[in-house]
């Protein structure tokens, strides 16, 4: 079994159609840790000691958020700035995250074809997520392909909310049960509910 912690960040949680359902699903997966950053730290007063201890105690750190302005909601930036401290996460003596994995589960309003060099977003979504990828590398963490839902605002009408949420639950359970193929996931750009590299149960 691997120890998995999910950090969820959505300032508009009550208006959400996708992340709220994903968060509900994650919150009831047994034997994982689920943290709702906006609920626990509405004033952004993140408890650095508590969160560093949590990171230290887990093998896989998964950040779940809607893409906001090609980046994370702001509390996740605050979390990075405060918790991923010099001497803890990087720099001299900063080896506490070495060998762990940093994963992302993101939703974006833009459609998949928009996130291409010819599309209106001009770049693949992985390009916008590069700061998080390099943060993981600086902290000597692995960075498997993010779990992505494009066209997230259309999902309630196209019927993709439930398959995406089911895929998310399968992803979390597979990580917990050591059935997620991280080597395969590192070779992919993004994963969705249709191509999760999950090994079958024995
Ligand atoms: C402030 C703000 C910024 C946003 N920026 C982006 C963006 O850069 N790219 C994108 O594809 N969608 C963007 N969106 C759309 C959200 O990603 C989308 O509403 C969300 O993923 C839908 O999930 P939800 O139903 O769980 O809220 C933005 C939305 C808001 C409110």
**Residue owning tokens 């060099």:** 117
Say how many Å lie between the CA of residue 68 and the centre of ligand 1: 5
Closest C-alpha to 127, from 75, 71, 195, 62:
71
Give domain status of residue 199, yes or no.
no
Q: Is residue 85 part of a domain?
A: yes
Query: Which of 14, 152, 158, 160 to mutate for ligand 1's pocket (most ligand atoms within 8 Å of CB)?
Result: 152
**What's the domain count of the chain?**
1
Task: Order the strands of the 33-36 sheet from edge to edge.
Answer: 33-36, 4-8, 60-66, 101-107, 147-149
Residue 160 sits in a domain whose CATH number is: 3.40.50.360
pLDDT score of 175: 98
Predicted structure pTM score: 0.98
- Whether residue 192 lies inside any domain: the answer is no
pLDDT band at 202 (very low <50, low <70, confident <90, very high): confident
Find the largest Cα–Cα distance for the chain. 51
Range of the domain at 143: 4-187
Nearest protein Cα to ligand 1, atom 29: 68
At 50 the pLDDT is 98
Atom from ligand 1 closest to the CA of residue 110 = 11
How far is 164 from 172, CA to CA, in rounded Å? Answer: 12
Whole-number pLDDT of residue 201:
84
22 inside domain: yes
| Residue 72 CB–ligand 1 contact under 6 Å | no
The reply to whether 30 falls in a domain is yes
Q: Is the CB of 69 under 6 A from ligand 1?
A: yes
In a domain, 153, yes or no: yes
Q: Report yes or no: 39 and 12 within 8 Å, Cβ to Cβ.
A: no
Percent of the residues in the chain that have a pLDDT greater than 90, as a whole number:
99
- Give, as one character, the DSSP assignment of residue 15: G
């Amino acid at each position: 079994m691997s120890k998995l912690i999910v950090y969820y960040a959505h300032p508009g949680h009550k208006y959400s159609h996708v992340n709220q359902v994903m968060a509900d699903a994650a919150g009831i997966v047994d034997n994982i840790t689920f943290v709702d950053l906006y609920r626990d730290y509405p004033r952004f007063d993140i408890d650095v000691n508590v969160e560093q201890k949590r990171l230290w105690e887990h093998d896989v750190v998964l950040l779940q958020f809607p893409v906001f302005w090609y980046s994370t909601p702001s509390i996740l930036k605050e979390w990075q700035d405060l918790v991923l401290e010099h001497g803890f996460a990087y720099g001299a003596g900063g080896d506490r995250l070495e060998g762990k994995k940093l994963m992302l589960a993101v939703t974006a309003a833009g459609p998949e074809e928009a996130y291409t060099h010819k599309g209106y977003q001009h770049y693949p979504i992985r390009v916008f997520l590069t700061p998080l990828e390099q943060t993981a590398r600086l902290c000597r963490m692995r960075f498997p392909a993010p779990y992505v839902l494009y066209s997230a605002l259309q999902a309630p009408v196209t019927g993709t909310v439930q398959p995406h949420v089911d895929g998310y639950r399968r992803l979390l359970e597979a990580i917990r049960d050591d059935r997620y193929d991280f080597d395969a996931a590192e070779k992919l750009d993004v994963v969705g509910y249709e191509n999760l590299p999950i090994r079958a149960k024995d």
